[in-house]
Amino acid sequence: MGMSTQRLLEKEYRERVMRAVAHIEANLGNPLPLEEAAERASWSYFHFHRVFSAVIGVPPGEYLRMRRLTEGTRLLALRSLSIAAIAERVGFGSVEAFHRSFKAEFGKTPAEYRRSSGNLALMNPFTPVERPLVHIAGCLAGEPVIERFGPVRLLCAREEFVLEQPALSIGIHTLWERNWNLLVSAAGQPLVRQYGLAEPSPGSAGKAIVYYAGVEAREGVPEDGGLVPYVIPEGEYLRALHRGPSSKLNETYLYLYGTWLPRHGREPGMAMDFDVYDERYDNDNRESPLSEVTFRIPLAPA
């Protein structure tokens, strides 16, 4: 693929993300499900979350929160609306929620901020700033491969998590540890592969995911033994190997979604991407530079 084609594809990705940004900007005060913004970008929400983060530099939920707060400071500076009216206008469900979020971000309550100076210049203004897509991924081992895969029947432990919570990776690791004996029992020994999948949580407006910690079940294992069934559908997948610390897993994913796929003219499909952990993954030292995780990203038909 020529460089000019690559640049056109990356330009298209950016344009789709910025359509979503424009939709968020036009609806700051509405109870806006972020899925609507994903629809403007023509992606499923989970894929949209990854690409938006790669292009803008923060996840869409964090972007929406910061823009609402920035708009709140602008309205406070105008002094024409009550704090309650401002909280409602910028999309917070209550004055209390606006108060908590504002103080956590700026170190002052809205009332203290309004009283603090004459002209009330905006504190920490937050505006959309595109950043270059990552053209290399330091932990990508070798060139990704496109291949057919599936179907695979799994039995899984599952739990809902807030998508942008700081301790997301810790919560997921705890889910694995808490259900390890059940998973080993379902798969048998040796436990060759483990699968980590996530999908948007129904009714969460794009703010939460359901994470599945799964194993390929042995024949005859019942589906009511404390685990839930999940079938990875057959299809065309991008397979990529991450070698290095678990803390850099998302960096590799952002490269694959934000650069590799548009560079090769491919779109993510509607199934969920997932991680595969086998004997090459260092469960005792997740930050080992030699630990390996396989990524699989479903692809839309070429």
pLDDT of the residue at 43: 76
Confidence (pLDDT) at 102: 86
Backbone angles phi, psi at 126, to 5 degrees: -125, 115
**pLDDT computed for residue 155 by the predictor:** 94
Please write the tens of the pLDDT for every residue from 110-123.
888 887 654 444 44
Q: Which of 131, 117, 155 is nearest to 58 (CA)?
A: 131
Q: What is the pTM of this model?
A: 0.67
Predicted local distance difference test score (pLDDT) of residue 130? 47
pLDDT along the chain (302 residues), means of 10: 55 81 86 79 77 79 85 81 90 88 84 67 47 63 94 94 77 92 87 87 76 88 80 95 88 79 80 89 89 92 86
Q: What is the pLDDT of residue 5?
A: 53
Domains, the chain, in order of start with CATH, read: 1-133 (1.10.10.60), 145-298 (3.20.80.10)
